[in-house]
Structure 1
Amino acid sequence: MSNKDPRPTTPVSRRDRAQQKKLKRHKKQTVLALALGGIAVITGFAIGISTYLLKDIPALRLSDFVDLSAASLVYASDGSVLGRFASEGDRRPLTSLQDAGLPLEDAVIAAEDKDFYHHIGIDPLAIVRSAWDDLHHQSIRSGGSTITQQTVKLAMFPNQERTVRRKVQEMVLALELEHRQSKQQILLEYVNALYFGRVHGVPLYGVESAALHIFGRHAKDLSPAQAAFLAAIPNNPTYFSLEQYPEHVLDRQHYILGKMHTLGYLHDGDFLHAMAEPVLQEVRHDRILYAPYESNSPYILAQVSHLAPRLIAQSEGISQSQAQTELESRGYRIYTSIDPSLQQRMEQTIATTRDFPPDLTVVSMGRQRKNKRHVQEQLGMVIIQNTSGRIVALAGGRNFAKSQVDHTLMRRQAGSALKPLVVYGPALEHGIITPGSVVDDIPETYYDPNSPSKQWFPMNWDNQFHGLMTARDALMHSYNLPAISLLNQMGPQIGAHYAWELGLAGIEKSDANSLGLAIGGTRGGVSPEELAAAYSTLARGGLYTEPSLIDRIDDSLGKQVYRHEVRTHRVFHTEVAALLTTMLKQVIESPYGTAHTIARSLHHVDVAGKTGTTDNNKDAWFVGYTPSYTMSAWVGYDFPHALLTTAHYTEPLRPQKLFVRVLGPVINQRREHFVLPATIHPYVICTKSGLLASPLCKAAHDTEIDYFAAGTEPTDICHSHQIVFTTVVNGVRVLATEYTPLYEIKTEILFNRPAITLDQKLQKYAPRDISESIPKELDPRGGFPLSDFQPSSTTVTPLSPSP
């Protein structure tokens, strides 16, 4: 009998092994799945962290690194330098690393980054040490940065923010910078941007500036001891302050010299010599001159400092505040439209005090005593080139050191200087008048909701009313009532609309409901620059051009950042602009024009323009233009005060004198003349009727040559003037009759004046031309009048405008 177990065991063992293999396979799959999941989580976490850390990383622009401390230069139109922008301090950037000198290069590398020429932009071991230090102190501390990283920080992160995100972004950009620039270029940018603190009160930027101020020599001429001395300061300019803690600087200098020796930059003998050099005795103690803001035309630089950051920000896609910072240290080249010869003449004129009154003494009461201060009369002047709208000269004041207010941009009341722009120009454009249309300068009362009496009774500057005259003469004399009457007829909203179209943005919406707009009485004001651009529109045939000062901006690499594009739009038709120009020429050429003093100085040239004064002579204006240039000049005080008037200083004449002195030589040299369109023709008209003048009109001295666009010229002959027989009875002129004694009869040429009605209060304001009109009353002694013409049967021939 056998002792073996009869059960079949083999099949069972195979099944167990299969199950075991299956279990092992499942375990491997589980482990693999967990591993892949872990990797995915870690990868996702890493991607998320990277996305967070690199979010909003700035784009690396090489222009940010070239001449990190270079001033931005401002040029005139001929390429000459007008001035420069730089932040506070002396900056003298080097253009080549060779100009820094080998000792200084070695000292900087030994002090800041001994592996600079061997790493890829970052030092991994240093980063690990820095990270461990940060974890240990639970804060972001300095350290671990290569020269490349520090250069990135200076260029891309000027706020010196200390965060993990900023450090990571700094490292990424450092790697990119190393890929795009050579080591030598990076080091040059770094040494140009280093800050060395204040020496003799002057903030120093860059090794060249530091070498000159501290040792009185160029960086390339420094000894190893001096180079190490300078390299010691930027690590902490406060702690290593040359003036406060020279012993701190000397200790670090010895440390740097030791590293230079260890790295093989200094042999034993050179090292010992450098350590023994009495470097503190070599420091200069006198200060050298520097100019962080250099310009003989500070008002131009002031305007550019406001305009350029906005243009740079728009072009570069950065904030305006960042653009303002970059303007001081990124080496921009800003090309302006300034004509240096005109600018120089303007500045020389301002420096001459003969055209200005003595300073005004202003007394104010303090708590215990009177305070006196001397105040200069100020000015604002702008010259615009008509063809392009480019500003070719400007003066924002008389002395930038005393007043930094740029009066070319300050808005003031313009007075009568607004009349051509908001009254006569629009009235011509809408066909309401021609230059020869007759207006009536008579007293009139208007509704004024702001007056206690609800009435406004405007007066002329001479406190008289003059009666019938042409629109040309009304503008030439700058009478108020014709302008107000025309604006009332047209609507002040139309006048305000043209003001806005002409760039007078200071005119407010409330001014569009005020008849005071006609004589410049507005809530908002205008600036000399705005007014120059508005009048330049007339010289350009009615085409408004936005004024510009900056033609082009290039970055430090020569890449164009901005180029000005001329912006224009039509405001007046060409014929209207030409007609208004003939009217404004009369302001200067006529002996009765308000700017005739200019004609006495400038002969046989074409100048058109307009004067303007405000209540109590607080502001005085003149805006004049030729075919090429328009100049706007304002004088006044920075606070409400009447301009001084003496026998020598006459307030309305000062802007005119400035125009003659500044632009006069150019005008006399060019001798340009306005050209009328072929559709405009001259006619001799009667100034009392606006019709074609007759010999009687000429005999009464009531004619003038006027210009009309085709289709608007008068076709009828004036019959207003007549030969009449008059006499005087009880002091009153009346028509002579058959009973008038012969010895009392006078033969006169008078005109039929339209009747006007004046109440008793206004009788004293009767217009002056009443004395030239045909009397309505007969000699009270009776009889038929001796003058009994029928004008319709009178035949006359119109006068020819030809001389």
Structure 2
Amino acid sequence: MNENNLFNRIKRFFNSPFSQTGKSIFNISYTVIQRLILIGTLGLVLLGVCGLGIGLGYFANIISHTDIPSETSLKTSLGQLNQASSLYYQNGELISEVQSDLTRKIVSSEDISDYVKKGIIATEDSYFYEHNGIVPKAVLRATLQEVSGASSQTGGSTLTQQLVKQQLLTNELTFTRKAKEILLAMRVEKYFSKDEILTAYLNVSPFGRNSDGQNIAGIETAAEGIFGKSAKDLTLAQAAFLVGLPQSPYVYTPYTNAGTKKEDFSYGIQKMKIVLDAMKRQGYISEQDYQEAYNYDISQDFIERTNKQRPAQTYLYQRIHKEAIEILMQQQVEKEGRSWETISSSVDLYNEYYFRAADTLASSGYKIYSTIDKDIYNAMQTAISNSAVKLGPTYETPYTNPETNETTTVNEPPQLGSVAIENKTGKILGFIGGTDFNTSQIDHAFATRRSPGSTIKPLLVYAPAIENNLIYPATMLADTQISRLQQDGTYWTPLNASGSVSNQFISARQALKQSLNNPTIHLYGSMLARGIQTNTYMNAMGITAIPANEYANEAASVGGFSTGPTVLEQTSAFTTFANNGEYVPAYMIERIEDREGNVVYEHQSTKNRVFTEDTAYLMRSMLTDSINGGTTQYFKQYLNFSFPEAYGKTGTSDFYLDMWAIISTPQITIGQWAGWDNNHGVKHVFPIDNAYGNVSVRTQQVWADIANAMRAAKPEYFDTSQRFSPAPPSITQQAVLASTGTLEGSIAAPDGSQHPVSGEKVVDLFSKSRPPFPISYYFSPGASDKDLTDFWNKLINGDKEKEEKEKEEKEKKEKEEREKAEKEKHQDEESTDSSTSLENWRDFLSRYTFRSTSN
């Protein structure tokens, strides 16, 4: 009834005159508003279309400028998880994993608990199994929040997008990066299964710290480092706790960076409960499982600190690690088309590439196979551990800290660096970086540069001099005084190790055997005067750090440099003679494989001809004399085996700061340096003779101790049946004058007089292409005019004196013979007279006897 009345009242209103007018106004207003709304709507649509067009155009532009990776490329990139690389011995046995700020283990899908998979999907991407890499409405919502600057923003990234962000893109927050993220996420979904994507995400994600305080990534490392079990064995509560960690790993982790447990676990536990709530909502777990896990005290499952030792830093780890980094650096430099010389000469550029390569090595899961023989290396370490005490004392050095002015006493023990190289291949079989890594981490085999002393002589002086046909082993050199005015006004007056000179001429063979300084300096001066570029020979044998201008100084011939070679460089250079004049660079990294087993680097052997075979053979012959009665002879008395063939050289720097011994067999070369680091302002030296014995003897004894230990560990490297290459057909023996080392003949003196020269001869080795020199007044390279004048005066005057002496002796002998003949004649006459008297006497007696008888 009431409804009818209301209807009638409304009807009357619209039929009234007033209502007719209102109705007209209403209709007009309604039409206007309707049209305005229509126009506004169309405008908004047009704006939306324009915006969409612009957006699509912008997106298309980004796509057109983005390299779309192939399936193979994506697989490689997504597989490049931060996994520790490993270092290996020659035989494939593990040395150590590469130390990193991040610890990770990679596992397959079947090794991950379903609780973990369901938990991460429920919490991070509930539409994971439905979308194709992105959820449009989530992307739109996140974009609008970003544009509006909303303080509360919800995540818009799927697990696929998060995986792409971590593995394929940078962390920049731009629309360009977001567009690329969407594109690549869809690409990943096209090529990979959901299970592969989920497994990759769980292997990539950070999980805070483990019970040793190490940064961890990957579900397996997290399970082991927090609960002490594998990811496949996690309980629901444990899985929920770990699933919550990646969102804020260092807030939710139960451990400090020292590996101790935090006082407050509430943040991580609250996040665990949020995960459980999500899993329940998605129907992944039952109410009972939910309640049990929700109310479980997860903190009781956190394991205690394990105090697990990280891989120990050693000389071996340190060296292989650095060698591998430099190989990766060089590969990157080459890839970018840059020059290694340019990079290595700039500290900033070198460091930039070094740290990039170091990061790659630490996180790429590479396998680095070295040339190091485990048995040889360990034997060398044991030997130096036992024999270091023979080198000399541990000095106590006062040291004042420049920052605190505090004075303390620093112990400085003797140090030693040694390298064992296989001659033919250049493989570094083993080395000694120092006497004690805990005392000094300085690598004395590869990193330190010291004066080479007399070990430089065969490399820099004698071999190049033979190669340039300036000398041969029988060439006579002046062992005479030297005095050179220096720029500071002082005189350089070098002497032999004995502190004197003989003022005689001595053969090059004997000069090297006795390691005489002055004959070597004279010879080197002659080489410089002839323009022989001695540094090119050193560079060709891998010694490049010595400034080129320093080779112009005569002192270089006895090791006088501002810097010097490393033990590796000097030892490697010595193998050139064993390799018949070819330099084979030493190396330590055989190959590098990626985690899939693909070879990313493999050493390629090279050879560089430095000397002819003839020169190398002659040098081996001369250096063999050095170990047979020369300065390098002492090691043999301490060996418990004998080398059928070997050559070598020792070296000593000024004041016995450095002691070297380098000895080669047909198979290997072992080089050794010993001395003190002297890093605290005091230069400690070897006492020449004290309780430790003669310095030359004891350092060679240590060399022998090392060789004995190596042979005991691997006798095959000391095969006594092995020999150096036989003499080339071009090597011959020939006799020359012992006085001049030349052929006989006549010399023209400076005054024009001619003097025949002959005398005693010696037989030595020569190259047929470089036969003995004819006699010459200037027979000795580098000898001064005074040296030659004195020599020839003595020789020529000596010949005259000899003739006169011979004449006197002849006359004396003739006189003696005449006197003897006269004496013998006189004796004969006396003998005749004596015989006559005897006969008369006999006759007398005969008569006397007859008469007596008669009576």
User: Shift of the alpha carbon at 1:488?
Assistant: 1.0
CA change 1:711–1:528 in 2 (3 A) is same
CA change 1:250–1:368 in 2 (3 A) is closer
Alignment of 1:549-560 (within 5 A): 549-560=588-599
Structure 2 residue 474 is matched with structure 1 residue 436: yes
User: Shift of the alpha carbon at 1:234?
Assistant: 1.7
Q: Distance in 2 between matches of 1:560 and 1:316?
A: 17
Match of 2:302 among 283, 292, 306: 283
User: Shift of the alpha carbon at 1:663?
Assistant: 3.5
Q: Distance in 1 between matches of 2:113 and 2:793?
A: 92
Alignment of 1:131-530 (within 5 A): 131-137=143-149, 143-157=155-169, 160-198=171-209, 199-242=211-254, 243=262, 245-291=264-310, 297-314=316-333, 321-352=355-386, 353-365=388-400, 370-407=407-444, 408-449=446-487, 451-453=488-490, 455-466=491-502, 467-491=504-528, 494-530=533-569
Instruction: State the secondary structure of the residue aligned to 1:239.
Output: helix
User: Which residue of structure 1 aligns with residue 114 of structure 2?
Assistant: 102
Q: Distance in 1 between matches of 2:305 and 2:179?
A: 44
Between 45-54 and 109-118, report the one with greater CA deviation: 45-54
Is this contact kept in 1: 2:222–2:242, CA < 8 A?
Answer: yes
Structure 2 residue 731 is matched with structure 1 residue 709: no
Q: Deviations over 1:356-403 (max 9, x none)?
A: 434321112466663111123222222222212222222322333433
User: Which residue of structure 2 aligns with residue 575 of structure 1?
Assistant: 614
CA change 1:715–1:310 in 2 (3 A) is closer
Unmatched tracts of structure 1, length 5 or more = 1-35, 694-700, 719-753, 760-765, 791-803
Q: Distance in 2 between matches of 1:673 and 1:189?
A: 57
Greater share of helix: 2
Instruction: State the secondary structure of the residue aligned to 1:566.
Output: coil
CA change 1:778–1:557 in 2 (3 A) is closer
Q: Deviations over 1:516-551 (max 9, x none)?
A: 111110123211121122111111111122322212
Q: Deviations over 1:617-639 (max 9, x none)?
A: 11111222222222221122222
Q: Distance in 2 between matches of 1:609 and 1:536?
A: 10
- 1:103 is matched by which residue type in structure 2? Y
Instruction: State the secondary structure of the residue aligned to 2:289.
Output: helix
User: Shift of the alpha carbon at 1:315?
Assistant: 7.2
CA change 1:190–1:41 in 2 (3 A) is closer
- Count of residue pairs brought into register by the alignment: 700
Structure 2 residue 648 is matched with structure 1 residue 617: no
- 1:194 is matched by which residue type in structure 2? S
User: Which residue of structure 2 aligns with residue 690 of structure 1?
Assistant: 741
Is this contact kept in 2: 1:682–1:705, CA < 8 A?
Answer: yes
Instruction: State the secondary structure of the residue aligned to 2:167.
Output: helix
Match of 1:593 among 631, 649, 660: 631
- 1:307 is matched by which residue type in structure 2? E
Instruction: State the secondary structure of the residue aligned to 1:280.
Output: helix
CA change 1:141–1:263 in 2 (3 A) is closer
User: Shift of the alpha carbon at 1:47?
Assistant: 4.5
User: Which residue of structure 2 aligns with residue 661 of structure 1?
Assistant: 705
Q: Deviations over 1:20-47 (max 9, x none)?
A: xxxxxxxxxxxxxxxx999998876554
- 2:805 is matched by which residue type in structure 1? P
- 2:497 is matched by which residue type in structure 1? W
User: Shift of the alpha carbon at 1:222?
Assistant: 1.1
Q: Deviations over 1:331-368 (max 9, x none)?
A: 11112222222212122223224444343211124666
User: Which residue of structure 1 aligns with residue 138 of structure 2?
Assistant: 126
User: Which residue of structure 1 aligns with residue 780 of structure 2?
Assistant: none
Match of 2:644 among 584, 602, 605: 605
User: Shift of the alpha carbon at 1:178?
Assistant: 3.2
Q: Deviations over 1:140-176 (max 9, x none)?
A: 989322222323333334x633333333333333333
Q: Distance in 2 between matches of 1:140 and 1:440?
A: 92
- 1:97 is matched by which residue type in structure 2? S
User: Which residue of structure 1 aligns with residue 677 of structure 2?
Assistant: 638
Q: Which has the larger radius of gyration?
A: 2
Instruction: State the secondary structure of the residue aligned to 1:551.
Output: strand
Q: Deviations over 1:83-105 (max 9, x none)?
A: 221412443x1332222222222
- 1:641 is matched by which residue type in structure 2? K
Q: Distance in 2 between matches of 1:528 and 1:702?
A: 43
Is this contact kept in 1: 2:417–2:672, CA < 8 A?
Answer: yes
Is this contact kept in 1: 2:455–2:651, CA < 8 A?
Answer: yes
User: Which residue of structure 1 aligns with residue 98 of structure 2?
Assistant: 85
Is this contact kept in 2: 1:69–1:192, CA < 8 A?
Answer: no
- 2:494 is matched by which residue type in structure 1? P
Between 542-551 and 430-439, report the one with greater CA deviation: 542-551
CA change 1:112–1:676 in 2 (3 A) is farther
User: Shift of the alpha carbon at 1:613?
Assistant: 1.4
Identity across the alignment (%)? 27
User: Shift of the alpha carbon at 1:436?
Assistant: 1.4
Q: Distance in 1 between matches of 2:684 and 2:179?
A: 64
CA change 1:172–1:579 in 2 (3 A) is farther
User: Shift of the alpha carbon at 1:262?
Assistant: 1.7
- 2:176 is matched by which residue type in structure 1? R
User: Which residue of structure 1 aligns with residue 343 of structure 2?
Assistant: none
Q: Distance in 2 between matches of 1:348 and 1:62?
A: 46
Is this contact kept in 1: 2:391–2:699, CA < 8 A?
Answer: no
Is this contact kept in 2: 1:315–1:562, CA < 8 A?
Answer: no
CA change 1:38–1:121 in 2 (3 A) is closer
- 1:431 is matched by which residue type in structure 2? N
CA change 1:375–1:136 in 2 (3 A) is farther
Is this contact kept in 1: 2:320–2:370, CA < 8 A?
Answer: no
CA change 1:557–1:246 in 2 (3 A) is same
CA change 1:307–1:118 in 2 (3 A) is same
Instruction: State the secondary structure of the residue aligned to 1:482.
Output: helix
CA change 1:320–1:527 in 2 (3 A) is closer
Q: Distance in 2 between matches of 1:67 and 1:86?
A: 17
